Amino acid sequence: MHISEGVLAAPLLIAGAAGAVAGCGIGLKKMDLEKTPKVAVMSSAFFVVSLIHIPIGPASAHLMLNGLVGIILGWASFPALLVALLLQIILFQFGGITTLGVNTLVTALPAMVCGYLFARSVRSKNSTRAIIAAFIAGITGILLSGMLVAFCLIFTGEHFLPVAKVFIIAHTPVMIIEGVLTALIIGFLRRVRPALIGGIA
């Protein structure tokens, strides 16, 4: 989700920036020394994964993995995603500096929600429950991001429902791929390094 510069009005950009700063403030406060390398790894993962395009029909989808980022990092998703989005602006001109705050909120808020909703289930001893929770988290992350973009666009004169409807229909394949990927990664981490999952604080 990279809203371009010049699309949104100043009050929304300021509100987005304020929200992102507040989120990053809390995230940085909760980010201890041990957790920081994990944040850097997840930030890099988001940075790289959203460059991978998956051609589906006439469109070309890209992954986000913000559900996974939320499960693993919790509040630290904010600084992780902010840094990744900032570098995407500088290196690839995705989005823009003025929309950085809004874009951070659009990706990090759903990540946070996924963290709160699914982190516990993902850590549960029942592996089937954990995998299903991870799959739903993958879907939820991208779905909520799309809804937030549709909400932001209300202020530019677009109507929420048509944009949201088209978004959901168009993103269904990406959501499923994202869900499967999140489930696979969580399954792998549970076996290899369970300590990495969770720590939602």
Partner 1 sequence: MIKSITRYSLSLLLTLSSLFAHRVNVFTKVKGELVECQCFYNDGKPVIEQPVQVTLSDGTVITKGKTNDEGFFVFSPGVREDLTITLTAGMGHMATTTVHKNDLPFFKEKSVARGSPSVMTDEKNIQANEQQDNMTEKQIREIIEQVVDEKLDPVIDLIQKQQRSHSLTTIIGGIGYIVGIFGLFIFLKNRKKK
The stretch near partner 1 (CB under 8 A) out of 15-23, 35-43, 123-131, 184-192 is 35-43
Q: How far is the CB of 32 from partner 1 (least distance, A)?
A: 8
Closer to partner 1 by Cβ: residue 12 or 112: 12
2 DSSP β-pair partners: none
Using CB under 8 A as the binding criterion, the count of chain residues that bind partner 1 stands at 50
Q: Which two tokens mark 68?
A: 């996974």
Q: How far is the CB of 135 from partner 1 (least distance, A)?
A: 21
Angle at 15 between CA 74 and CA 77, to 5 degrees: 15
36 binds partner 1 (CB under 8 A): yes
Helices (H), the chain: 10-30, 36-49, 66-73, 77-92, 100-122, 127-154, 160-192
- Which residue bears the tokens 């994202």? 178
41 burial (CB, 10 Å; 0-12 / 13-18 / 19+) is middle
Q: How far is the CB of 130 from partner 1 (least distance, A)?
A: 27
From residue 140, how far is each of 96, 109, 163 by CA, in Å? 25, 11, 17
Q: Residues 156 to 195: which contact partner 1 by CB under 8 A? A: 156, 163, 166-167, 169-171, 174
What is d(CA 122, CA 142) in angstroms, rounded to the nearest whole number? 18
Q: Residues 102 to 141: which contact partner 1 by CB under 8 A? A: none
152 binds partner 1 (CB under 8 A): yes
Sign of torsion over alpha carbons 184, 148, 11, 22: negative
* Binding mask of the shown chain, residues 56 to 95, with x at each position contacting partner 1 by CB under 8 A: -xxxxxx--------------------xx--xx--xxxxx
Contact residues: partner 1, CB under 8 A: 1-8, 28, 31, 33, 36-37, 39-40, 43-44, 47-48, 50-51, 53, 57-62, 83-84, 87-88, 91-95, 99, 146, 149, 152-153, 156, 163, 166-167, 169-171, 174
